[in-house]
A and B are shown apart, each in its own frame.
Chain A
Amino acid sequence: MADLTTNFAGVVSPNPFWLASAPPTNSAYQINKAFEYGWGGAVWKTIGDPVLNVCNRYGQFEYGHRRLIAINNVELISDRPIEVNLKEIREVKKLWPDRAVVVSAMVSSNEAAWRKVVQQIEDAGADAIELNYGCPHGMSERGMGAAVGQVPEYCEMITGWVTAAASIPVIVKLTPNVTNIIPPAHAAVNAGADGISLINTINSITGVDLDSLEIFPNVGGKGSHGGYAGPAARPIALHMLSQVASDPKVAASGIPISGMGGIETWRDAAEFLVLGSTSMQVCTAVMHYGFRIIHELCDGLSNWLDEKGAGAISEFVGKSVPRIGHFGDFDLSFKTVAVIDEEKCIQCNLCYVACDEGAHQCIDLTKDGVRVDPETYSGAELLQPKVREEDCVGCDLCSLVCPVDDCITMEERPRERDSFTWNELVRTRPEVTTDWDAMVAFRREVGIEIH
């Protein structure tokens, strides 16, 4: 059985799963219960300056009957007095020496305030500090949270204060509400951070009540952008993680990344793992289903690692990072076409309409092998979709909309010409990349036909 023990910048936990700083880590009651269930660590709900919360704090994004595909919140940092939090942190750490107890903090942007909170957190016995530079609402208006995270210079300055004062590892939590995640990541590295965590929540509005015209979450008739998290946010989190994990400067610094944003199942966690997360944090899935999901997170991940023949989880951190490439380096001769397995096809013909109206008109509807125009066809017999392989551009849309597993597959076809990339073209035939006539001539020359 694969060893799930995780070492994150010297903070050791029996498995890589930490509760993210959020409502599930609001109190000793909750964290004790979570540790009983087997969570490897917890990042305490952000402590700091006094706040007052609103009702309603959350909105949701649902799809079909699936609830909470994502949550949205306008919640602030911990609304319990800092002394109460510190007392409980001390007690929890004493009870659970083998778990990672990380404390998230956010205070006013002055050095003395940061020095003080660092001291308090260390005195409470925490294993590490996480700097919350992400909160997109409420705190940012007060010059904290995302207001710091969005300005690399602030980020670097404050992190510098903290790393200078702290003797325990310092983790910088990045906000996704930036156009480029790399400058704040570099700021963290420059300031001597021991780890990076990402992502915090994404600015969002989850919906509008079509009767009252109020927006969600609705605070007495008014709403505002809230932080978006949960499964539907995962692709964005994975992208930001992959950017940071594949960044040469971050890689050279050797600091680990704690990934989060939409982790609900072991499969999600495995994706974060191979894209460079040493530990994985979870919030929304726990808010939805409770601490008990840890069992399946560990079980599934460990069965998968066993299947892969891994002795320890650490062997798989960042395994897919080398696969992250740039568009300019993609092989423009790589070819795939859609192939429909007619045995499996149930003839819903979603692929047909997708290709005909949303792609490249390469699927025909046929009866007894003969093409039929569905607009005029009036027979009762279902029509069979067939791909005209010579026209298929290999976009993959039909296989994505097909409701039947393995019915449409994208099959690789031999390259019809030597591999070449856009960057090579820019270097060797610059005119082709700037002039349409040259491009058309180039296509003719190498035999690329686009109907």
Chain B
Amino acid sequence: MEHHKLSLDQLQDSFSEIHPRYTPNEAIVEAERCLYCFDAPCIKACPTSIDIPTFIRQIANDNLTGAGTTILESNMMGHTCGRVCPVEELCVGACVLGREHRPIAIGRLQRYATDHIFENDIQPFDLVADTGKRVAIIGAGPAGLSTAGELAKRGIRATVFEKQELAGGLSTYGIVVLREPTNVALEEVGFVEKLGVTVRTGVEVGRDVLPEDLLREYDAVVLAAGTGRVPPLGVPGEELEGVVEALPMIAATKLADKDGTEALTRIRVGNEVIVVGAGNTAIDAATVAKRLGAERVTMLYRRGREEMSAYDHEVAFVRAEGVDIRLLTQPVEVLGEGGKVTGVRCVRMRLGDPDASGRRRPEPIPGSEFVLPADQVIKAIGQEKLVALYDAVGVEHASGYVRTDGELRTSNPKVFAAGDCVRATGQALTVTAAEDGKIAARAIARQLGVAEPVPARDDTRGRFLHATVNEFGRIHG
């Protein structure tokens, strides 16, 4: 199971960002198509409510610094989001032009603007005087970084503890390079650090520092630890050599993006690869396996297409990559020889009555077992929840998710939580993690008695001054 039919050049091509950056001409042509709608639906469809028509107009007007600032003001993770957001489901899906023409490519434009900020090392936010308040954040993924950056805007200094060697969470380790080069995630970490945030990598809370110490030493603690490893499949043969988890494999390709294409040749990939699962992570793992040189990649999912959580555009993408998706198929045993994987025994399924979640329950069809040959099996059936950490910090949780109120307060008055570890319902996305950071920072500031930040510019310089007008001003004479 070594590859290497692929040359370094081929690998380099296969693991580069898919969409090239817009040229200035492309960006302006696209930006000028924007109608600059009043009460634009794209703003409402963005979980962080970026003022999209404004930033697009700023691009059209050649005010790229202004455009980038508009984005980052609403979304600290805007540099990542422009690349990774499922925009078809969010802003682009809401664009009114989609109804009679082609919607605006908002993600591409967003990226064009934030690239300008990061490439030119522009710091759009003024440093805010230290209020002396201190917050500890567990996890330097999008949720933790967004919270930290938003706190910095209020003069509250955060220290972010990250168990991995690099900060950025799944932006650094999880989202495939085709969508987000590793460097983009790391630039974003640097951006937040420059606001006065301390990021301490290689420090695991619960092992290297204790939750109780954080609770004692800091004014508040934020749990933003995401989720854990892929759980076991629970079938015989799982221990065989060649059965791997999706995330470490994807992570290896992310690190190779930073360390050089050479590193890609050291990632083990099979020729006949089976991916178990059909969510977006499974899609990414299948893509990675295919692009690393696997001959045949097959995804197994025990339900039907309707029940798949992966987005349509992702499914279309992975099919175009040449990946086979076998629906209504469940692995029952991993087969092996000499300790190594040789295949997967599967059973065909059919859909029965709806279960508690409303999805139709898959049931095995008796006598329908068959074997698919495989020399690698990639597990991508969701992630375990970090329940032990929740308990160590002393917060209530349910079904693996930290329980919070609408302001992301947990059962422990000193502890807030954000990101994937609270996302019991709805899609776990970078952009929702970023929005959580805003909500949590606002709530923490209120709890610590810190005033809300003044907008970058005051009203007379062109900022909407919320209704100072008395009744008469609104009445026609």
Q: Which residues of A contact B467 (CB under 8 A)?
A: 36
B477 with A32: CB separation less than 8 A: no
Knowing A27-B476, A296-B54, A300-B63, the reply to whether A33 touches B469 (Cβ < 8 A) is yes
A296 with B462: CB separation less than 8 A: yes
Q: Which residues of B contact A27 (CB under 8 A)?
A: 476-477
Knowing A98-B460, A296-B57, the reply to whether A266 touches B473 (Cβ < 8 A) is no
CA distance A1 to B458 in the complex (A): 12
B66 with A299: CB separation less than 8 A: yes
Please tell me if B10 contacts chain A, counting CB pairs below 8 Å: no
A297 with B469: CB separation less than 8 A: no
A: number of interface residues (CB 8 Å):
45
Q: Which residues of B contact A14 (CB under 8 A)?
A: 460-461
> From residue A64, how far is it (CB to closest CB) to chain B in Å?
10
Knowing A27-B476, A84-B477, A95-B470, the reply to whether A36 touches B465 (Cβ < 8 A) is yes
A298 with B461: CB separation less than 8 A: yes
A265 with B61: CB separation less than 8 A: yes
> From residue B42, how far is it (CB to closest CB) to chain A in Å?
15
B25 with A404: CB separation less than 8 A: yes
> From residue B120, how far is it (CB to closest CB) to chain A in Å?
11
Q: Which of B445-468 contact A (CB under 8 A)?
A: 457, 459-468
CA distance A405 to B25 in the complex (A): 6
Q: Which residues of A contact B461 (CB under 8 A)?
A: 4, 14-15, 38, 298-299, 302
A299 with B462: CB separation less than 8 A: yes
Q: Which of A25-70 contact B (CB under 8 A)?
A: 27-29, 32-33, 36-38, 40, 66
Please tell me if A290 contacts chain B, counting CB pairs below 8 Å: yes
Please tell me if A87 contacts chain B, counting CB pairs below 8 Å: yes
Knowing A14-B461, A298-B462, the reply to whether A289 touches B469 (Cβ < 8 A) is no
A15 with B460: CB separation less than 8 A: yes
Q: Which of B36-51 contact A (CB under 8 A)?
A: 36, 38
B460 with A296: CB separation less than 8 A: no
Knowing A266-B61, A267-B62, A299-B457, the reply to whether A36 touches B462 (Cβ < 8 A) is no
Q: Which of B17-59 contact A (CB under 8 A)?
A: 23-25, 32, 36, 38, 54, 57-58
Tell me which of B23, B32, B58, B475 contacts A300 (CB under 8 A). Answer: B58
Interface string of A93-111 (1 = CB under 8 A from B): 0010011000000000000
Q: Which residues of A contact B58 (CB under 8 A)?
A: 296, 299-300
A40 with B476: CB separation less than 8 A: no
Q: Which residues of A contact B24 (CB under 8 A)?
A: 405
Residue on B nearest A80 in the bound complex, by CB: B477
Q: Which residues of B contact A294 (CB under 8 A)?
A: 462
> From residue B122, how far is it (CB to closest CB) to chain A in Å?
10
Please tell me if B65 contacts chain A, counting CB pairs below 8 Å: yes
- Greatest chain A CB density within 10 A among B23, B24, B459, B467 is at B459
Knowing A36-B465, A38-B460, A296-B54, the reply to whether A303 touches B66 (Cβ < 8 A) is yes
Q: Which residues of B contact A388 (CB under 8 A)?
A: none
Please tell me if A292 contacts chain B, counting CB pairs below 8 Å: yes
Please tell me if B99 contacts chain A, counting CB pairs below 8 Å: no
Interface string of B242-286 (1 = CB under 8 A from A): 000000000000000000000000000000000000000000000
CA distance A287 to B62 in the complex (A): 22
> From residue B132, how far is it (CB to closest CB) to chain A in Å?
27
Please tell me if B216 contacts chain A, counting CB pairs below 8 Å: no
Please tell me if A329 contacts chain B, counting CB pairs below 8 Å: no
Please tell me if B474 contacts chain A, counting CB pairs below 8 Å: yes
Please tell me if A88 contacts chain B, counting CB pairs below 8 Å: yes
CA distance A405 to B474 in the complex (A): 47
> From residue B214, how far is it (CB to closest CB) to chain A in Å?
38
Q: Which residues of A contact B475 (CB under 8 A)?
A: 29
B63 with A38: CB separation less than 8 A: no
> From residue B20, how far is it (CB to closest CB) to chain A in Å?
15
Residue on A nearest B468 in the bound complex, by CB: A36
Knowing A36-B469, A267-B62, A296-B462, the reply to whether A290 touches B38 (Cβ < 8 A) is yes
Knowing A36-B464, A298-B461, the reply to whether A405 touches B23 (Cβ < 8 A) is yes
A266 with B63: CB separation less than 8 A: yes
Interface string of A292-329 (1 = CB under 8 A from B): 11111111101110000000000000000000000000
Tell me which of B38, B61, B464, B472 contacts A28 (CB under 8 A). Answer: B472
Interface string of A143-163 (1 = CB under 8 A from B): 000000000000000000000
Q: Which of A209-236 contact B (CB under 8 A)?
A: none
Tell me which of B63, B466, B474, B476 contacts A296 (CB under 8 A). Answer: B63
CA distance A225 to B100 in the complex (A): 35
Please tell me if A123 contacts chain B, counting CB pairs below 8 Å: no
CA distance A1 to B465 in the complex (A): 20
Tell me which of B38, B54, B473, B477 contacts A33 (CB under 8 A). Answer: B473
Q: Which residues of B contact A303 (CB under 8 A)?
A: 63, 65-66
B477 with A292: CB separation less than 8 A: no
Please tell me if A424 contacts chain B, counting CB pairs below 8 Å: no
CA distance A300 to B63 in the complex (A): 6
Tell me which of B65, B464, B466 contacts A295 (CB under 8 A). Answer: B464
> From residue A253, how far is it (CB to closest CB) to chain B in Å?
30
CA distance A15 to B464 in the complex (A): 14
Please tell me if A91 contacts chain B, counting CB pairs below 8 Å: yes
Residue on A nearest B460 in the bound complex, by CB: A14
Q: Which of A79-93 contact B (CB under 8 A)?
A: 80, 84-85, 87-88, 91-92
Q: Which residues of A contact B470 (CB under 8 A)?
A: 95
Q: Which residues of B contact A66 (CB under 8 A)?
A: 32
Tell me which of B61, B62, B462, B469 contacts A32 (CB under 8 A). Answer: B469
Interface string of A247-286 (1 = CB under 8 A from B): 0000000000000000001110000000000000000000
Known: A36-B467, A37-B465, A302-B461. 8 other contacts (CB 8 A): A4-B461, A29-B477, A267-B61, A267-B62, A289-B38, A292-B54, A303-B66, A405-B23
* Interface positions of B (Cβ within 8 A of A): 23-25, 32, 36, 38, 54, 57-58, 60-63, 65-66, 69, 457, 459-470, 472-477
